[in-house]
């Protein structure tokens, strides 16, 4: 059904008898009363810009092109995004809708685009298509209760309403972390003020809005680095905290609060930290890895010590990963959405396999440096560590080693250090 066809149907419904009256809604700066109408689901269209699934929609568009809500396949894809965004909670809401019906009215535009209630409408439609429910329940759930906005509702007012009624007030279903950052940026790009964004999104202060914009900038920079511009589904799970830590560290560098960094080195250190942290975020390493060692300025972490930091950076740049197949080439090989996801996962996994050993060796070496530095006044303990490490070398394989020059250089360095220790002991 086209937008114009939906508009004619909804206009006809709006001229009929409402099922509810007197519901209040803040619209274009003033409180107004709206009637509630019973709208057949087939007269409605999902809001493709819905903040709940923004990352999924933007990623899909980047990979496959625009979504057209007049096409059943595209509408089903958006419904799938809505359901999978919080599957367990949606199943619970479905059971509640089937048993009790829709208790709170939504909001739609005059041409049937859902402003508030996309999730509920998708679940009602899911009930009508399911074999799990009887016909009486399906009939009850084939309508959506909604207030109809006037024809003069513009894009900015629709975004404000969606934000206020979804992100600002909907505590029933939490948004995925990435969505709040995307929504903040979308509102900022639509010329909402920082104060308005904070109010409509229910944020604690303007500072939280600015923080969201900073994190969004880091997220975009991360995706750009690996050829994933606009594909927000390529963000690793649980990466939000790492971006927050990185943002704090970058701000400390820029403000000159790390004493060893000279003013003419600020950009270099910032760029190095950003790239290194991005690689470790993508690597998704667990176990003995601690992201705070990289993106924290505490005294026990890499950035706090100039020598340790430079050693880590030098080690990081010693080996570079092979050039990856471009994202466009990968997507061009995919024949459907699932295959695109599989091929992009394969691209990430191949990169991880190529860099994991080198990145983790660099990390462990510098972590050991910091731990050894804490014991600098315990020479016996450090010498025992050195002896234990050296004694584990398999000398039988050294003759066939392909990096003999490097090994000889390290052995010479060890001999020089031993000589210095002996000299100090004989003084």
Residue 71 is given by DSSP the state: S
Question: In this predicted structure, what is the pLDDT of residue 295?
Answer: 80
Interval 75-89 mean pLDDT: 93
Question: Is 169's pLDDT higher than 60?
Answer: no
For residue 329, name the pLDDT band (cuts at 50, 70, 90).
very high
Sheet holding 114-116, edge to edge: 20-27, 30-40, 143-148, 106-108, 114-116
What's the rounded Cα separation, in Å, for the pair 378 and 380? 6
Distance from C-alpha of 190 to C-alpha of 182, rounded to nearest angstrom: 12
Least confident residue range of 83-92, 260-269, 410-419: 410-419
CB burial class (10 A; 0-12, 13-18, 19+) of residue 196? middle
Distances (CA, A) of 99 to 116, 142, 293, 360: 21, 14, 52, 53
Instruction: Of 135-149, 353-367, 401-415, give the lowest mean pLDDT range.
Output: 401-415
Q: What is the DSSP letter of 258?
A: S
The token pair at 232 is 């927000």
Give me the pLDDT at residue 135, please. Answer: 96
**Interval 345-392: pLDDT, tens:** 999 999 999 999 999 999 998 888 887 777 677 888 778 888 888 888
pLDDT of 427 over the 80 cut: no
* Cβ proximity of 176 and 184 under 8 Å: no
- The mean-pLDDT minimum among 4-18, 63-77, 172-186, 412-426 falls in 172-186
Determine contact, residues 55/166, Cβ cutoff 8 Å.
no
What pLDDT shows up at residue 229? 96
Give the per-residue pLDDT at 174: 59
Statement: residue 72 has pLDDT above 90: yes
Q: Give 65's contacts (C-beta < 8 A, 6+ positions apart).
A: none
Residues in contact with 93: Cβ distance below 8 Å, sequence separation at least 6, in sequence order: 119, 120, 123, 172, 173
170 pLDDT more than 80: no
- Token digits of residue 252: 């400390």
Domain ranges of the chain: 3-154, 263-376, 379-426
**Average pLDDT rounded to a whole number, residues 315-344:** 89
pLDDT in tens, 13-60: 999 999 999 899 999 889 999 999 999 999 999 999 888 899 999 999
pLDDT value at position 398? 83
pLDDT attached to residue 247: 96
Number of neighbours of residue 365 by Cβ within 10 angstroms = 13
pLDDT score of 200? 92
- Does the pLDDT of residue 198 top 80, yes or no? yes
What are the structure tokens assigned to 400, written together?
């066939």
Task: Give 276: exposed, middle or buried? Use CB within 10 Å, 0-12, 13-18, 19+.
Answer: buried
Angle at 354 between CA 349 and CA 359, to 5 degrees: 105
Mean pLDDT of 415-423: 87
Mean of per-residue pLDDT scores for the chain: 90
Mean pLDDT calculated for residue range 139-163: 93
From residue 383, alpha-carbon distances to 240, 362, 367, 389 in Å are 41, 22, 17, 10
Banded model confidence at residue 8, pLDDT cuts 50, 70, 90: very high
Mean pLDDT is lowest, of 21-35, 255-269, 351-365, 405-419, for 405-419
Integer angstrom CA distances of residue 35 from 20, 38, 170, 344: 6, 10, 21, 48
In the block, residue with structure tokens 């070496």: 365
pLDDT at 172: 38
Token pair belonging to 165: 């009624």
What is the rounded CA–CA span in Å between residue 361 and residue 91? 45
Note the pLDDT tens digit of each residue in 279-301. Answer: 999 999 877 788 888 887 677 78
How much is the pLDDT for 52? Answer: 85
Closest CA to 350 of 282, 304, 295, 275: 282
């Amino acid at each position: 059904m086209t937008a114009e066809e939906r508009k004619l149907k909804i206009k006809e419904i709006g001229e009929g008898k409402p099922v509810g009256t007197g519901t209040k809604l803040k619209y274009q700066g003033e409180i107004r009363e709206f009637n509630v109408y019973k709208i057949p689901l087939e007269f409605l269209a999902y809001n493709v810009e819905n903040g709940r699934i923004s990352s999924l929609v933007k990623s899909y568009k980047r990979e496959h092109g625009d979504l057209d809500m007049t096409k059943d396949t595209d509408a089903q894809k958006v419904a799938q995004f809505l359901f999978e965004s919080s599957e367990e909670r949606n199943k619970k809401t479905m059971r509640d809708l089937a048993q009790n019906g829709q208790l709170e009215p939504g909001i739609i535009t005059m041409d049937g685009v859902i402003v508030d209630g996309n999730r509920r409408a998708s679940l009602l439609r899911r009930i009508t298509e399911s074999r799990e429910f009887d016909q009486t329940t399906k009939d009850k759930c084939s309508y959506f209760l909604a207030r109809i906005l006037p024809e003069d509702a513009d894009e900015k007012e629709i975004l404000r309403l969606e934000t206020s009624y979804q992100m600002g007030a909907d505590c029933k279903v939490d948004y995925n972390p990435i969505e709040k950052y995307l929504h903040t940026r979308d509102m900022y790009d639509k010329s909402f003020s920082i104060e308005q964004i904070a109010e409509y999104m229910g944020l604690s202060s303007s500072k939280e809005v600015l923080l969201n914009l900073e994190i969004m900038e880091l997220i975009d920079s991360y995706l750009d680095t690996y050829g994933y511009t606009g594909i927000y589904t390529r963000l690793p799970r649980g990466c939000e905290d790492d971006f927050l830590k990185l943002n704090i560290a970058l701000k400390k560098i820029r403000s000159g609060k790390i004493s060893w960094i000279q003013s003419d080195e600020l950009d270099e250190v910032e760029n190095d930290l950003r790239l290194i942290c991005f690689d470790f975020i993508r690597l998704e390493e667990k176990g003995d890895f601690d992201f705070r060692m990289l993106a924290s300025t505490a005294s026990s972490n890499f950035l706090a010590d100039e020598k340790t930091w430079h050693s880590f950076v030098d080690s990081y740049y010693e080996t570079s990963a092979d050039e990856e197949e471009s994202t466009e080439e990968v997507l061009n090989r995919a024949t459907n959405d699932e295959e695109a996801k599989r091929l992009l996962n394969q691209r990430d996994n191949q990169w991880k396999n190529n860099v994991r050993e080198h990145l983790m060796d660099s990390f462990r070496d510098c972590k050991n440096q910091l731990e050894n530095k804490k014991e600098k006044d315990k020479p016996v303990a450090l010498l025992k560590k050195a002896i234990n490490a050296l004694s584990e070398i398999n000398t039988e394989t050294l003759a066939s080693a392909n990096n003999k020059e490097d090994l000889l250089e390290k052995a010479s360095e060890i001999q020089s250090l031993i000589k210095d220790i002996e000299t100090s002991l004989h003084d």
